[in-house]
Structure 1
Amino acid sequence: MSEKFDFKQHDFYTNRELSWLDFNYRVLEEAKDKTNPLLERLKFLSITQSNLDEFFMVRVASLAKLAAVNYAKPDASGLTADAQLKAVNLKAHKMLIKQYNTLNRSLIPAVEQLGVRLKNRDTLDERQAQFVKNYFHDELYPVLTPMADDSSRPFPFIANNTMNIALRLNDGERDKELYATIPVPNSFPRIIALPGQTNEFILLEDIIKMFASRLFINYQIKEQTVFRVIRDMDLDVAEEDTSNLLKEVQQQLKKREHGNVIRLEVENNSSQKLLNRLVKELGAKRFAVYEINGPVNLTFLSELVKKIKGLDDQKYSAFTAHQALPLSSDGDIFAAIRQQDWVMQHPYDKFDSVVNFIGQAATDPAVLAIKMTLYRVSGNSPIIKYLGMAAQNGKQVTVLVEVKARFDEQNNVHWAQQLEKMGCHVIYGLLGLKTHCKLSLVVRREQGGIRRYMHMGTGNYNDATAHFYTDMGLFTANSDMGIDATNIFNMLSGYSKPPYFHQLHISPQGIRDFINDRLDQAIAVAKQDKTALVRMKMNSLSDQQIIAHLYEASRAGVKIELIVRGICCLKVGIEGVSDNITVHSIVGRFLEHSRIFIFDLDHEVSTYLASADMMTRNLNRRVELLFPINAIPTKSKVNQIFDTMWNDNVKSRILQSDDSYQRIDRRGIAKMSSQDVFIKNAERQMKAEKEDESPTTSENFKPLLSPKNQPNLLSDEGSDE
């Protein structure tokens, strides 16, 4: 075996952007999947649109900028920026066709059978027509602003992700063709409920089109078409001086609204003349024009689902998340953490425990200080309120708010200012780096001296997304980790450069070094013909160096099991290179967001959680955290969680050598959806605790057998056992 084998050949890598589109196709599969509740399928289709919007605003925008300056360096797969830009748009056009085929051929007919209808001018009954007329004159007409487009009035600025109606008109007196635009006001709901039948609706833009002639008296409307643009929304913040970072972010937020047009969506009944005019005035590339066979911007489907009445049986059933009593608001959370480490898995374990951790610290007289990193928080965050309360109660409160968190910049700037007003010390991190780690430290004076309590997590301190993102976290009072956590905050707030960390691993570089070291150990074990198993779960795998090292480990005989929800630039099935690598992707009810790393080297198992994916930006340009799960019960729980997900045969797809993802052939084996299993476990725990039972971790979280040997937990008969 040659030690000089080239693991960085272009043929060994999938393009990152095309791999992301493959992930969005997997989300689209959920919209098509008839085993999902019908209204949830509408939401999945809506998610494919919101995913694409952000993808184009950031990733495709970045490619467009590189292509514009003829950036020639290829990516790991060998594609230049220009080639990637064209390939991405080609694949996205194919996705568009599948999105609207799913809507028009499958979902709309299905919801119509249940009495849900999107109506238009031709299908309104008399009562509804009168309602729409009154709605236009009483509500819309005073707000609408028609924008003429002629020699004295230039084409209006079209803001990112706004709905607009382009019009071609005729001046009856001079028989002259004119153009205008009506911005669809975003201060109104896009879905308007109609009187009469319970679930009949009309789109806001259709009402405006019905009565647009009232805005152009003495002009004849020849054509109307709805359009929308997606602009370059990537924030470009110069960080030479972090003292002005807040002001710089605020200035860049204003500039961002005027980014270049990356995608133009327009109804497919538009004339070539009107389409050409839009392309010219907006500066859009021809390959970036998307002609839509239906309502523009499918995110309206999520709004529609919220307004549909009486069809709760067509949604996911609500479930009761588990709340460990010692970590509840009625328990003594610090006594519970002193007694043992706790691993949480959200949303199956309530996020309330994390909120309670900060809440109890805010009012506990023994607490001296709270230190915390915040990357994304909700719009009405209880954690923010508790941090402010703690400061007002005289505790030392230091909060690192990452004001460069993409698309949360404005929200985070607001919270940074509010925290400062409440008396907290607010810091913005290190020069040139985003702080993405999820870390809370509470310092408490106790009888035996100062004790540190920590929460470390894989996901954001966001009580809203914690209901539909799967994430994991650790509560611990481990003294070595406490020292490490203190050093991390000193590094973030001051000039400290700790020479080493006892147990925690920090990016930039620290996590990469750790993963590389573990892979080297696995290779050494495999070369001795001993068991070497590496298991990783993450959102994305795109870093070329890490992938090359995984190839090297596979070639040496290390068995590698990867669960990668989204981007995966690694290829499987390359003879002599990735024969020992298997990649699963789980896409289901909840967004898989946790990061797990397990190394079984000659039956010595070590387990870790992290905030970082194996992406270059996370390993090189962000402050990230990887932390060990040391206690036997908690380690067992995390390993069992990975086992359960690995054995998923309902929502899991397996990566093939041709880069496609195929569902698992379930013939002869029981259905097993990991997310449904976790829900059942959570409900079983809650039921047991309500009956005053006290099951141990191993009793209430039973390890799963292989799918073909386990009881049929999720059969069509719905067995509970």
Structure 2
Amino acid sequence: MKTEDMLDFSETPTRRDITEEQETMVADDLATQPARFFNRELSWLAFNERVLAEATNPNYPLLERLRFLSISGSNIDEFLMVRVAGLAGQVRRQIEEISIDGLTPSQAIASTHEKVIQLEQIQQEIWTGLKVQLAEAGIRVVGEERLDAEREAWLRRYFLEHVMPVITPQAIDPAHPFPFVANQGIGVLFALTRQADEAPVMEMVLIPGPLPRFVRIPGEEAAWISIEDLICRNADELFPGFSVDGHGVFRILRDSDIEIEEDAEDLVRYYRTAIQRRRRGLVIVLQLQGAFDPSAEDLLRNQLGLDKALIMKTEGLIGISGLSAICDEDRPELKFEPYSPRYPERILEHDGEIFAAIREKDIVVQHPYESFEVVIDFLRQAARDPDVIAIKQTLYRAGKQSAIISALIYAAEQGKSVTAVVELKARFDEEQNLLWASQLERAGVQVIYGFVDWKTHAKTSMIVRREGESYRTYCHFGTGNYHPITARIYTDLSYFTADPAIGRDVGRLFNFITGYVEPKVTECLSISPISLRSTIYEGIDGEIENARNGKPAAIWAKLNSLTDPDLIDRLYAASQAGVDIDLVVRGICCLRPGIEGLSENIAVKSIIGRFLEHCRIWAFANGEELPNRKAKVYITSADAMSRNLDRRVEVMVPIANKTVHDQVLDQVMLANLLDTEQSWVLHPDGSYDRVGEVDNPFNLHRYFMTNPSLSGRGASLASGRKVPKLSLRRGNI
């Protein structure tokens, strides 16, 4: 990338010529038809296909490509356990509710099953290729092949000392009930012959969760073996007096969603019970490896109670997500170069005093390029500061080792008034959040669980500090969770302000959550499910009006998902009015762009790369060409999904401070639109293509890794160093 003051990306392509066949899909045909929307489930699978494609990206180090393969496996597992399980449940209950794209649950589940099988086949092909490349790089993944005597002896000892005491072979016959197989559990069925009487015997070995998915074999050359292969190659130790005729490895996934009952009297007790029920959810996927014995397959089908379940057979590896263990191999040359996030220099210039820095001017920092430690320090300093009298905090996902929780506990122990809104409905973090809630309550924190029907998804901190004869409220808003681990790989924005009007609104927000006191009016913030949708609509309608009056009209947005049909129709109306709309939607997108007469003014791209794009931004041109100082710019915790707009507590924050406004619009948002090296363009037919080669390639992750932020860099430019400025030429976004 060039480093002069002005970077020109005039040749950046993001739209594709529409084919003759696609031109037939005109507005009159689609404007009121379900075909104007893409299917949500298939769009999500298309996103995961883009993730999977990164496993073949030659520009990535080998172990990072393996990591993308592992991530794709984990993503598909969760998709099957939640979304597909939900569809299967609708089919079982004979619910025929039509999705926005016109499919019944039965049709949707058939389409998703077909696509999942295709993706699984692609995964196996990629794994086969990566396995060869890993071996060439000195990292072997072994199966049944024999190793040298020393390693064979080590494997035998490891099995006898670490595996055999933990596993429990169980005969499968009328005298032994079929064992319970845990969610994501892996098992091995052995076909044996008892040597004493030549009687056939079937045995099952379930692999306990605490055992490692892959075992590292010591030696100068790295070698790994899956736990199931290790068990199979030591079957003679498990079954003395038997001959092994064959074996088959299987894995299951269960329905893992938790549905909230409206009449739940005690939410904590309900969730503790629901978590236990989830572990025994219906089987929705059965994976079979290798040449599985037909009688053994019939046994599993009958005993697992498969109903509307997907059965997948593969000659390769099951449980692709487990490959993440191999990514930990100590080979730095096969991984991304380590990156150390910067600490905001604005705060360092105030000797690390965060409140002083915020009092001077609002601050926005971008994670992971700038350290999440600043958010933790914000709460740590509040906990230690004798002038801080109250802290209020929302907690959606905080991780297993949370400095945020520790800071809140310390603050309560210092006698401060501390309120924590702990969301129990954070999927797959329910158990951890129950644990945090218990620890917080024991320390004297007032723990609130929010609404029964709505998730509290807003990411907000509020600190009230005594200053002189009055009080000042300091606020933090995040587009991502208060989670120090995910903050290293998720790109998110943290906004700090002491604006009095925003402080008053945050107080109203917490009163709404803790006391159900719905704010009649807010001065700055938009809150769902009260006013956030209407704020977005007002922005869109304002651009429609500007377009009709001949003024420049444009909308930029950065989202994780876009699925709400009413919002999509509003964007279609804006396109028809002549508003230029550019959307960066990482994951699910149900909007169909580029259709003449309907959405020809809408372009959609998705960015997949080293970091997970996660922040949510809306920008409305407000009568001038974007980007401009008068543009209406917002950051939010909410995606453009019906659940976020109507069934969750979310916050949308207007950005008024000039420096913060410039960073969010002219740096973060613009860099996403200009990226060419990690971008995929969505076409009218639902397909995605990588952006091709251009004369001036641009990588937004590299740009932010090598350049300090506007808001956080303080006086660091006094040395004369210049940060490359991003720019564009109209019509070439």
Tell me if 1:677 matches 2:677: no
Residue 300 of structure 1 and its aligned partner are, at CA, apart by: 2.2
1:628, 1:702 → 2: CA distance?
26
3-state SS in 1 of match to 2:325 = helix
Residue 5 of structure 1 and its aligned partner are, at CA, apart by: 9.7
Equivalent residue in structure 2 for 1:627, among 628, 634, 653: 653
Residue 207 of structure 1 and its aligned partner are, at CA, apart by: 1.5
Query: What's the counterpart of residue 346 of structure 1?
Result: 367
Question: After superposition, what is the alpha-carbon deviation per residue over 1:520-579, rounded to whole angstroms, capped at 9, x for unaligned?
Answer: 111111111211101110100001110111111111111110000000001012220000
Equivalent residue in structure 1 for 2:55, among 28, 31, 46: 31
Q: Give the TM-score taking structure 2 as reference length.
A: 0.92
Residue 699 of structure 1 and its aligned partner are, at CA, apart by: 7.6
Residue 665 of structure 1 and its aligned partner are, at CA, apart by: 2.0
Query: What's the counterpart of residue 475 of structure 1?
Result: 496
Question: Residues 579-658 of structure 1 correspond to what in structure 2 (within 5 A)?
Answer: 579-603=600-624, 604-640=630-666, 641-658=668-685
Residue 111 of structure 1 and its aligned partner are, at CA, apart by: 1.1
Question: After superposition, what is the alpha-carbon deviation per residue over 1:438-493, rounded to whole angstroms, capped at 9, x for unaligned?
Answer: 01000011125111000011000011110000000210001111000001111111
- Distance change in 2, residues 1:6/1:196 (3 Å): closer
Tell me if 1:366 matches 2:393: no
2:77, 2:640 → 1: CA distance?
24
Identity of aligned residues (%): 38
3-state SS in 1 of match to 2:320 = coil
1:279–1:286: 8 Å Cα contact kept in structure 2? no
Equivalent residue in structure 2 for 1:415, among 436, 439, 452: 436
1:700, 1:250 → 2: CA distance?
55
Equivalent residue in structure 2 for 1:305, among 311, 321, 327: 327
Stretch deviating more after TM superposition (266-275 or 91-100): 266-275
Q: Which amino acid aligns with 2:636?
A: A
Tell me if 1:492 matches 2:518: no
- Distance change in 2, residues 1:215/1:354 (3 Å): same
Equivalent residue in structure 1 for 2:572, among 551, 560, 564: 551
Query: What's the counterpart of residue 258 of structure 1?
Result: 280
Q: Which amino acid aligns with 1:659?
A: G
- Distance change in 2, residues 1:330/1:417 (3 Å): farther
Query: What's the counterpart of residue 249 of structure 1?
Result: 271
Query: What's the counterpart of residue 3 of structure 2?
Result: none
1:32, 1:708 → 2: CA distance?
34
2:230, 2:566 → 1: CA distance?
54
3-state SS in 1 of match to 2:593 = coil
Query: What's the counterpart of residue 69 of structure 2?
Result: 45
3-state SS in 2 of match to 1:404 = coil
Residue 324 of structure 1 and its aligned partner are, at CA, apart by: 1.5
Residue 325 of structure 1 and its aligned partner are, at CA, apart by: 3.6
- Distance change in 2, residues 1:111/1:682 (3 Å): farther
2:520, 2:29 → 1: CA distance?
35
Residue 700 of structure 1 and its aligned partner are, at CA, apart by: 6.1
Residue 330 of structure 1 and its aligned partner are, at CA, apart by: 4.5
Query: What's the counterpart of residue 357 of structure 2?
Result: 336
Residue 270 of structure 1 and its aligned partner are, at CA, apart by: 1.1
1:545, 1:192 → 2: CA distance?
50
- Distance change in 2, residues 1:414/1:538 (3 Å): same
Stretch deviating more after TM superposition (317-326 or 347-356): 317-326
Q: Which runs of 5+ in 2 are unaligned?
A: 1-25, 625-629
3-state SS in 2 of match to 1:150 = coil
Stretch deviating more after TM superposition (233-242 or 538-547): 233-242
Query: What's the counterpart of residue 116 of structure 1?
Result: 139
Residue 708 of structure 1 and its aligned partner are, at CA, apart by: 13
- Distance change in 2, residues 1:494/1:592 (3 Å): same
- Distance change in 2, residues 1:420/1:43 (3 Å): same
Query: What's the counterpart of residue 485 of structure 2?
Result: 464
- Distance change in 2, residues 1:6/1:114 (3 Å): closer
2:345–2:716: 8 Å Cα contact kept in structure 1? no
Query: What's the counterpart of residue 537 of structure 1?
Result: 558
Residue 238 of structure 1 and its aligned partner are, at CA, apart by: 2.3
Tell me if 1:564 matches 2:585: yes
Residue 343 of structure 1 and its aligned partner are, at CA, apart by: 0.8
1:337–1:476: 8 Å Cα contact kept in structure 2? yes
2:344–2:365: 8 Å Cα contact kept in structure 1? no
Query: What's the counterpart of residue 719 of structure 1?
Result: none
Residue 108 of structure 1 and its aligned partner are, at CA, apart by: 1.1
1:61–1:232: 8 Å Cα contact kept in structure 2? yes
Q: Which amino acid aligns with 2:337?
A: S
Tell me if 1:98 matches 2:106: no
Stretch deviating more after TM superposition (181-190 or 556-565): 181-190
Residue 299 of structure 1 and its aligned partner are, at CA, apart by: 1.8
Question: After superposition, what is the alpha-carbon deviation per residue over 1:145-189, rounded to whole angstroms, capped at 9, x for unaligned?
Answer: 012211121211110012211122234455543322101122222
2:365–2:711: 8 Å Cα contact kept in structure 1? no
Query: What's the counterpart of residue 319 of structure 1?
Result: 339
> How many pairs were matched up?
700
1:595, 1:286 → 2: CA distance?
36
Which fold has the larger relative contact order, with Cα–Cα distance below 8 Å and residues 6 or more apart in sequence? Answer: 2
Equivalent residue in structure 2 for 1:178, among 201, 212, 218: 201
Question: After superposition, what is the alpha-carbon deviation per residue over 1:592-613, rounded to whole angstroms, capped at 9, x for unaligned?
Answer: 1100000002114110000000
Tell me if 1:216 matches 2:239: yes
Q: Which runs of 5+ in 1 are unaligned?
A: 711-721
Stretch deviating more after TM superposition (374-383 or 118-127): 118-127
Question: Residues 50-61 of structure 1 correspond to what in structure 2 (within 5 A)?
Answer: 50-61=74-85
Question: Residues 130-279 of structure 1 correspond to what in structure 2 (within 5 A)?
Answer: 130-172=153-195, 175-241=198-264, 244-279=266-301
Residue 4 of structure 1 and its aligned partner are, at CA, apart by: 11
Instruction: Tell me the C-alpha RMSD between the 2 structures.
Output: 2.4
- Distance change in 2, residues 1:709/1:606 (3 Å): closer
Question: After superposition, what is the alpha-carbon deviation per residue over 1:230-281, rounded to whole angstroms, capped at 9, x for unaligned?
Answer: 1000012324355x21111011100111111111111032122322222222
1:342, 1:523 → 2: CA distance?
32
1:162, 1:195 → 2: CA distance?
27
- Distance change in 2, residues 1:168/1:470 (3 Å): same
2:409, 2:648 → 1: CA distance?
27
Q: Which amino acid aligns with 2:648?
A: R
Residue 314 of structure 1 and its aligned partner are, at CA, apart by: 1.3
1:681–1:700: 8 Å Cα contact kept in structure 2? no
Q: Which amino acid aligns with 1:255?
A: R
Residue 322 of structure 1 and its aligned partner are, at CA, apart by: 1.7
3-state SS in 1 of match to 2:726 = coil
Residue 701 of structure 1 and its aligned partner are, at CA, apart by: 5.1
- Distance change in 2, residues 1:245/1:685 (3 Å): closer
Q: Which amino acid aligns with 1:672?
A: F
Question: Residues 429-444 of structure 1 correspond to what in structure 2 (within 5 A)?
Answer: 429-444=450-465
1:374, 1:319 → 2: CA distance?
27
1:697, 1:568 → 2: CA distance?
44
